[in-house]
Amino acid sequence: MTTPFQSIIVFVDSSDSSLRAAEYAVRLAACASARLTAVSVVDTDTLKKLLTARILVEQEMTELETDLERSQNRSLEYVRHLAARAGVPVETVLSKGVASTAVLAEQKARQADLVIMGGFRCTLTRMDLAGAERQRLLDVATCPVLVVK
């Protein structure tokens, strides 16, 4: 009997919900004997827009990008730690650009049949950038997406 999922992508950032999603992804990969890939993205697209709008200067953008990269690497390290404790092999990918685009590119390249991500909250009056990217991921994904609250 084949398992329902052969390859799982988990999208992680530094949010609590994405770290909970990573825990679920590791457990599900262990149960299904699925390949697991953790993807984290440094949102350089937004940084460039802030630079263009003169909200940031070049040095601030560079420093912020470095800080975001460190933060995303810590999230990926957390997934590696969880996976190692569970005996699950995991590949990690740190991308730069637009989060939904990067995650979906990895999903396509690895032919993943499930994407797991942390929950988010969007309201009609306010939709933050992270929420908008997660919503875009849900809207465009061609495979099932599991949202963990």
Residue type, 90: V
CATH 3.40.50.1820 fits 7-148, yes or no: no
Q: Which sequence spans correspond to the domains of the chain?
A: 7-148
pLDDT tens for residues 85-141? 999 999 999 999 999 999 999 999 999 999 999 987 655 434 466 667 778 888 999
pLDDT tens for residues 41-92? 998 887 787 778 888 788 888 898 899 999 999 999 999 999 999 999 999 9
In terms of DSSP bridges, do strands 114-118 and 145-148 run parallel, antiparallel, or are they unpaired?
Answer: parallel
Structure tokens that stand for 4 in this block: 């329902």
- Tell me, rounded to whole angstroms, the distance of Cα 2 from its chain centroid: 26
Phi, psi at 10, each rounded to 5°: -115, 125
Burial class (CB in 10 A: 0-12, 13-18, 19+), 58: exposed
Structure tokens that stand for 68 in this block: 């975001």
Evaluate if pTM is beyond 0.85. Answer: yes
